Amino acid sequence: MSDKVYIFDTTLRDGEQSPGATMNMAEKITMARQLEKLGVDIIEAGFPAASQGDFDAVTKIAESVGDIQVAGLCRALISDIDRAYDAVKHARNPRIHTFIATSDIHMKHKFNKEPEQILEMARKAVRHAASLTPNVEFSAEDASRSRWDFLAQVVEAAIEEGATTINIPDTVGYAQPEEFGKLITYLLETVPNSDKAVFSVHCHNDLGLGVANTLAAIKAGARQAEVTLSGIGERAGNAALEEVIMALHTRKDYYDVETSIVTEHLFPSCRRLATTIGQPISPYKAIVGANAFAHESGIHQDGMLKNRQTYEIMTPESIGKKGTSIVIGKHSGRNALGSKLTEMGYHLDDTQIAAVFKAIKTLADKKEEIFDEDVEALVLEEAYRIHDLYRVKELSVFSGTAGVSPHAAIVLEDFSKGSEDPVQIQEVGFGGGPINAVFSTINKMVGRDPKLELYSVNAVTGGTDAQGAVMVHITDNGVKSIGRGSDEDIIVASAKAYINAINRIERMKQEKQNA
Ligand code: KIV
Ligand code: ZN
């Protein structure tokens, strides 16, 4: 029988901490459920000591999933470890993931400590974590730039103290595949108790080698891969889950390992993430990009018609690239929508289904075909928005050629006074263009003047009647926030995204006050 490679997904931790990928609680929970359906073995749900929001999210995810292991990241500090355990202990299978850097450059400049002191901190941290749960992972941050002999010493100590998984991160994406594979072989052969732990790798993509390094390490004997959907993560991201999985799957002859991933859920999972964070999948993205299975050249098309295997090493069906079986349209009833949502992996209550149903009916009046992406965008819009303090009720914009001063008239529902019934506020304002007019009018209404750092608009599907998905990044008094909104009218989508970003700032302010 082939060995199993455990898939440790860190989309909700390393992925979520990257710019533009912030998710609210409901979005995180729905992603965690999707990851469970995909078949990952471990979800890293967050970094509980980082903030109250992270702690709450990890707790909620731990409570919401089934048998899947839920890891909480923590520095090698007793207080961090306790905080992580307090959050993950609600899971059926909790894991503590503690880390400390082992490279000379990190030990000297981040900690100003000698290697012996770091070794002692690692020992103490793992010992404490192992007193709370038998499922302890230890990571030697910046392992690929650490001295191999010192790294081996730390790894041996961590296993002695009770770590059952040893993670070797290529934190800065510096390693080269052959060299990284050799490091894993060296550790497996040199560390006397290496057979007592699963060796794991966590590769960043700074030189575009995250997946290659992960695969080289698996070939050398690593049996856990830390990955993220679509490769999101710090800087250039992490090794992409779908790429690692399809390499192992397509080249089973070469790797001879198994995973528990249900490959047919790969594309729906990446699409779910893209819709949630409002960042579309690049058409050239391996495995899940729109062009990944498109054959354009005549010679290729001819070959494909004769035998698909001429140019196709895997099928679109194997990654779940096909429509789901229930098609939603103008005449679909609520039950059909309910079944569709379940098929897509959403668990919504009746009120949420009713809100999505109403939005789909409105959209179906304007749009010929309703795609899964449309349903997903509406679910996020209607069911998973963070609790709004302001909501767009009415909006009209006037703009045109030179000589016309673009202006916006907006009515907002204001829930900020704390009552269930919102107060309506209205305002008219001018701007250099229609979006500028909308944003500056909203600023007047909410009494803020944030700096717009980024504005992007993408079509949710193809077709001229597609919904627009807008993402904004704003900074207000040093606080950064991201907002997303979708609508068949891109100006309305822009207003929703801007209000969403402001709601998040208000929410952070409230959380700070409560804390
Ligand atoms: O990149 C890294 O080293 C990490 C560790 C905390 C595992 O994310
Ligand atoms: Zn990382």
Q: Say if ligand 1 is within 6 A of residue 169 CB.
A: yes
From 382, 411, 440, give the residue that closes a domain: 382
- The burial of 2, by beta-carbon neighbours within 10 Å (0-12 exposed, 13-18 middle, 19 or more buried), is given as exposed
Q: Which carries the bigger pLDDT value, residue 128 or residue 484?
A: 128
Q: What is the pLDDT of residues 162-199, one digit of tens each?
A: 999 999 999 999 999 999 999 999 999 999 999 999 99
* Residues counted in the chain: 515
Per-residue pLDDT at 396 exceeds 80: yes
Write out the residue range of the structural domain in which residue 406 sits.
390-514
482 within a domain of the structure (yes/no): yes
- Amino acid identity for residue 130 in this structure: A
Per-residue pLDDT at 493 exceeds 80: yes
For the entire predicted model, the pTM comes to 0.86
Q: Quote the pLDDT of residue 434.
A: 95
Instruction: For residues 98 and 245, state if they share a domain.
Output: yes
**pLDDT-based confidence at 156, cuts 50/70/90?**
very high
- Which run of H or of E encompasses 354? helix 350-366
Q: Whose CA is closest to atom 1 on ligand 1?
A: 171
Q: Whose CA is closest to atom 8 on ligand 1?
A: 14
**Packing angle between helix 148-161 and helix 115-132, nearest 10 degrees?**
30
271 within a domain of the structure (yes/no): yes
- The burial of 481, by beta-carbon neighbours within 10 Å (0-12 exposed, 13-18 middle, 19 or more buried), is given as buried
Instruction: For residues 267 and 352, state if they share a domain.
Output: no
**pLDDT-based confidence at 387, cuts 50/70/90?**
low
Q: Whose CA is closest to atom 5 on ligand 1?
A: 141
Instruction: For residues 355 and 469, state if they share a domain.
Output: no
Q: Which carries the bigger pLDDT value, residue 342 or residue 324?
A: 342
Q: Quote the pLDDT of residue 480.
A: 85
Instruction: For residues 200 and 53, state if they share a domain.
Output: yes
Q: State the Cα–Cα distance between residues 274 and 212, nearest whole angstrom.
A: 23
Lowest-pLDDT choice from 118-122, 215-219, 257-261, 281-285: 281-285
- Report, in angstroms and rounded to the nearest whole number, the Rg of the chain calculated over CA atoms: 25
Pocket mutation for ligand 1, best pick of 47, 141, 146, 204 (most atoms within 8 Å of C-beta): 141
Instruction: For residues 79 and 197, state if they share a domain.
Output: yes
Lowest-pLDDT choice from 26-35, 275-284, 300-309, 487-496: 300-309
304 within a domain of the structure (yes/no): no
Q: State the Cα–Cα distance between residues 15 and 30, nearest whole angstrom.
A: 15
- Cα 238 to chain centroid distance, Å, stands at 11
Q: What is the pLDDT of residues 22-37, one digit of tens each?
A: 898 889 999 999 999 9
Instruction: For residues 57 and 190, state if they share a domain.
Output: yes
Q: State the Cα–Cα distance between residues 382 and 358, nearest whole angstrom.
A: 10
Instruction: For residues 20 and 67, state if they share a domain.
Output: yes
The phi, psi pair for 470, rounded to 5°, reads -110, 140
Residue 98: give its domain's CATH number.
Answer: 3.20.20.70
Q: And the tokens for 451?
A: 């700096």
Cβ–Cβ < 8 Å for 237, 19: no
| Residue among 301, 267, 366 at smallest CA distance from 34 | 267
- Which run of H or of E encompasses 211? helix 210-220
Instruction: For residues 348 and 376, state if they share a domain.
Output: yes
315 within a domain of the structure (yes/no): no
Instruction: For residues 429 and 505, state if they share a domain.
Output: yes
Q: Say if ligand 1 is within 6 A of residue 242 CB.
A: no
Q: Say if ligand 1 is within 6 A of residue 137 CB.
A: no
Q: State the Cα–Cα distance between residues 89 and 147, nearest whole angstrom.
A: 35
**Ligand 1: which atom is nearest the Cα of residue 14?**
8
Q: How many CB atoms lie within 10 A of CB 385?
A: 19
Q: List CB-based neighbours of ion ligand 2 within 5 Å.
A: 14
From 382, 406, 439, give the residue that closes a domain: 382
Instruction: For residues 399 and 338, state if they share a domain.
Output: no
Residue 471: give its domain's CATH number.
Answer: 3.30.160.270
Per-residue pLDDT at 160 exceeds 70: yes
Torsion sign, CA atoms 412, 415, 420, 425? negative
217 within a domain of the structure (yes/no): yes
Considering the chain, what percentage of its residues have pLDDT values greater than 90?
A: 68
Q: Say if ligand 1 is within 6 A of residue 171 CB.
A: yes
Q: Quote the pLDDT of residue 515.
A: 61
Q: Quote the pLDDT of residue 283.
A: 85
Tokens 């049996």, located at residue: 223
* Distinct helix (H) and strand (E) counts, the chain: 17, 16
User: How many folded domains does the chain comprise?
Assistant: 3
Specify the pairing of strand 451-459 against strand 468-476.
antiparallel
94 within a domain of the structure (yes/no): yes
208 within a domain of the structure (yes/no): yes
297 within a domain of the structure (yes/no): no
From 348, 382, 416, give the residue that closes a domain: 382
Query: In the predicted model, what is the mean pLDDT of residues 386-410?
Result: 89
Instruction: For residues 211 and 243, state if they share a domain.
Output: yes
Instruction: For residues 44 and 190, state if they share a domain.
Output: yes
Cβ–Cβ < 8 Å for 9, 229: yes
Lowest-pLDDT choice from 38-47, 189-198, 279-288: 279-288
**Ligand 1: which atom is nearest the Cα of residue 99?**
6
* Per-position DSSP letters for 426-479, written without gaps between them: EEEEE-SSHHHHHHHHHHHHHT---EEEEEEEEESSSSTTPPEEEEEEEEETTE
Specify the pairing of strand 136-141 against strand 93-101.
parallel
- Most confident range (mean pLDDT) of 126-135, 302-311, 332-341 is 126-135
Tokens 């966590």, located at residue: 202
Question: What separation in Å is there between the alpha carbon of 145 and the centre of ligand 1?
Answer: 13
Q: Quote the pLDDT of residue 325.
A: 61
**pLDDT-based confidence at 323, cuts 50/70/90?**
low
